[in-house]
Amino acid sequence: MKSRMYLKILITFCVLAFINNISCLPDDPDDECTQNRNSIAKSGELLVDGSSFWQITVANENGAVLDADKDCHTQMQLEFWFKNKELAKTNVKPPILIVFFGGGGFFDPGSVAVYSKQISDGSYLWTAYCDQAAKNASQNPTDFGISVSWDPNQLLSLEDVKLNGSINYRAYQQE
């Protein structure tokens, strides 16, 4: 009796695992969102005695032209690290506030992955990543971007920070 119950559980588990694997297959190469993609990148710094705000947007990098398709996912990534080499070798997150936005609004911080990794010189490189579409935006084409400022909760521990941002998006094409 128990062996039959275990067999049913095992079969159910195998079927669910199979269905899950099918749903994780790579995207269809004929999907329109995989075609006509553009990338932009920008580097900069947040300085204690200087620039306290940094931003990269699709529109700003394209001459103030809204160029991104709101219905396709845009991959936005920010890499950041302390400018001070000794501080960069600690696994302390730089005290910055990062906002990913698109379509006239911002994306929930819960949809943003933030992680660190130690690189060859012993420093820690931090990455914030967001992969979202702006399907609820009122107009197409739209804008996507990343804004960075000092974290107001950590104003007593400010140190200079270096930034590298990139955005990979589908250029809007009117049908």
Q: What is the DSSP string of 17-44?
A: HHHHHHHTSPPPTT-GGGSSEEEEEEEE
Exposed, middle or buried, 78 (CB in 10 Å: 0-12/13-18/19+)? buried
In-domain check, residue 3 = no
Specify the pLDDT at position 132.
Answer: 97
pTM for this one? 0.80
Specify the pLDDT at position 84.
Answer: 95
In-domain check, residue 21 = no
In-domain check, residue 28 = no
In-domain check, residue 103 = yes
The pLDDT averaged over each successive group of 10 residues in the chain (175 residues) is 58 51 49 92 93 94 93 97 95 95 93 94 96 94 96 86 98 87
Here the tokens at position 165 are 């941002």
In-domain check, residue 25 = no
The boundaries of the domain holding residue 101 are: 37-170
Domain count for the chain, please give it: 1
In-domain check, residue 19 = no
Specify the pLDDT at position 128.
Answer: 97
In-domain check, residue 104 = yes
The DSSP output letter for 142 is B
In-domain check, residue 62 = yes
CATH number at residue 67: 2.60.120
